[in-house]
């Protein structure tokens, strides 16, 4: 059976960017394909350490992330596997082996590394290296489909390059994930999804951005979320049009409205074509987002610790079995066994 895999870092509560760009597409794929694919949704807790985290918060965030998966509608059947990365030591060992296949040149080109390190006096090595750990996360499970937001596409390409280079050097060990163009087709979206920062729509919305009003968190009260949308940056052109280049703020609102309401973007865009009042658009998006959050938060309340531990026990047994078998193949191929 083929594998679909994704992870969301548990360094803080998720934004609606994480939710709309990665979690919801994954849940939709799990609903459609978990009859005939393995679906791995894991907590990349080792990746969380690239941001400064408090140990106590991290544990709470890990547990909360899994409740988010359940609340987002993840089907809980035998082909769906939920696990914590740090409970599967093969991830760390494969990362080291792949570090010796990756080159400084390609790592230096990673846009996320450049963005996350920009303007910082000191940058931890994890921020530089995490795409290699991510490649291992994917290759250990022979995953072909990796639904992620557009910001992670370059890392999927890196995983493909590392797998191909390793196979050429040591023999056919890894399944090469499909190209990002095919990933997008499989996800059923026209392009990669990138929800923008509400205050600075040139940038993507990120959990770690300091400005509170730049992002909507999944635990924001519906009222707070609505206020953030009402204060989103737009422009002075006075026409509602989808044009990410010239009108990123307005286009971001249209994109959020489409994803939250489940209406195709084209239809949302034509509904608003010719309209000029940004306030009306904001009111509509604020109402859709706050409605979505209210429903989501009710579902979170219903998911229990017992459900989470039961999922993890089953998922981590499966993940260790599959990952250890692949790691042994790798160790044999490079001559460590």
CB of 26 or CB of 269, closer to ligand AQP: 26
Cβ 6 to ligand AQP, closest distance in Å?
A: 6
- Residues 105 and 113 sit within 8 Å (Cβ to Cβ): no
Which residue among 2, 31, 114, 116 is the active-site one? 116
The catalytically annotated residue of 204, 215, 228, 326 is 204
Task: Considering the complex, state which of residue 24 and residue 308 has its C-beta at the smaller distance from ligand AQP.
Answer: 24
Q: What is the dihedral of CA 209, 213, 214, 215, to 10 degrees?
A: 80
User: Which residues are within 8 A (CB) of 96 and not within 5 positions of it... i.e. 6 or more apart?
Assistant: none
What's the CA gap between 234 and 247, in Å, rounded? 7
Q: How far is the CB of 21 from ligand AQP (least distance, A)?
A: 2
Judged on CB neighbours under 10 Å (0-12, 13-18, 19+), 289 is: buried
* 282 labelled catalytic: no
- The residue annotated as part of the active site, out of 31, 67, 185, 207, is 207
Residue 151 DSSP SS3: helix
Closest Cα to residue 248, out of 191, 196, 189? 196
* Residue 91 in contact with ligand AQP, rule: CB under 6 A: no
# binding residues, ligand AQP (CB under 6 A): 21
Binding pattern for the stretch 179-208 against ligand AQP, x by CB under 6 A and - elsewhere? --------------xxx--------xxxxx
Report the length, in residues, of the chain: 337
Closest distance to ligand AQP from the beta carbon of 214 (Å): 11
Q: Which two tokens stand for residue 309?
A: 């531990």
Q: Does the footprint of ligand AQP cover residue 51 (CB under 6 A)?
A: yes
By CB under 6 A, tell whether 216 contacts ligand AQP.
no
Task: Supply the minimum distance, in Å, between the C-beta of residue 42 and ligand AQP.
Answer: 11
Cα dist. 154→29, 69, 211, 302, 314 in Å?
21, 25, 26, 37, 32
What's the min distance (Å) between Cβ of 197 and ligand AQP? 8
Task: Indicate which residues carry an active-site annotation.
Answer: 116, 204, 207
Footprint on this chain of ligand AQP (rule: CB under 6 A): 8-9, 11, 15, 17-18, 21-22, 51, 148-149, 151-152, 193-195, 204-208
């Amino acid at each position: 059976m083929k594998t679909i895999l994704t992870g969301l870092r548990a360094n803080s509560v998720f934004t609606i960017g994480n939710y709309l760009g990665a979690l919801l597409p994954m849940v939709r794929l799990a609903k459609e394909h978990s009859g005939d694919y393995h679906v791995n949704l894991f907590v990349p807790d080792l990746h969380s350490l690239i941001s400064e985290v408090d140990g106590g918060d991290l544990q709470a965030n890990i547990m909360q992330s899994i409740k988010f998966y359940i609340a987002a509608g993840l089907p809980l059947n035998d082909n769906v596997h939920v696990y914590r990365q740090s409970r599967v030591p093969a991830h760390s060992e494969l990362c080291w082996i792949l570090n010796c296949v990756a080159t400084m040149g390609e790592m230096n080109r990673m846009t996320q590394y450049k963005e996350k390190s920009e303007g910082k006096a000191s940058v931890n090595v994890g921020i530089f290296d995490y795409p290699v750990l991510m490649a291992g996360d994917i290759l250990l499970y022979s995953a072909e489909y990796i639904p992620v937001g557009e910001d992670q596409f370059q890392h999927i390409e890196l995983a493909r390059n590392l797998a191909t280079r390793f196979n050429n050097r040591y023999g056919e060990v890894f399944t090469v994930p499909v190209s990002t163009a095919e990933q997008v087709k499989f996800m059923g979206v026209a392009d990669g999804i990138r929800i923008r920062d509400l205050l600075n729509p040139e940038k993507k919305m990120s959990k770690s951005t300091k400005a509170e009003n730049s992002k909507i968190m999944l635990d924001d009260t519906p009222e707070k979320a609505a206020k953030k949308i009402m204060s989103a940056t737009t422009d002075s052109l006075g026409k509602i049009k989808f044009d990410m280049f010239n009108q990123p703020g307005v286009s971001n609102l249209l994109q959020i409205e489409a994803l939250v309401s489940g209406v195709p973007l084209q239809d949302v865009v034509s509904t608003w074509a010719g309209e000029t009042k940004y306030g009306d658009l904001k009111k509509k998006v604020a109402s859709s987002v706050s409605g979505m959050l209210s429903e989501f938060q009710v579902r979170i309340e219903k998911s229990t610790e017992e459900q989470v531990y039961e999922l993890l026990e089953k998922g981590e047994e499966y993940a260790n079995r599959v990952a250890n078998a692949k790691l042994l193949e790798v160790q044999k191929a490079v001559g460590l066994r």
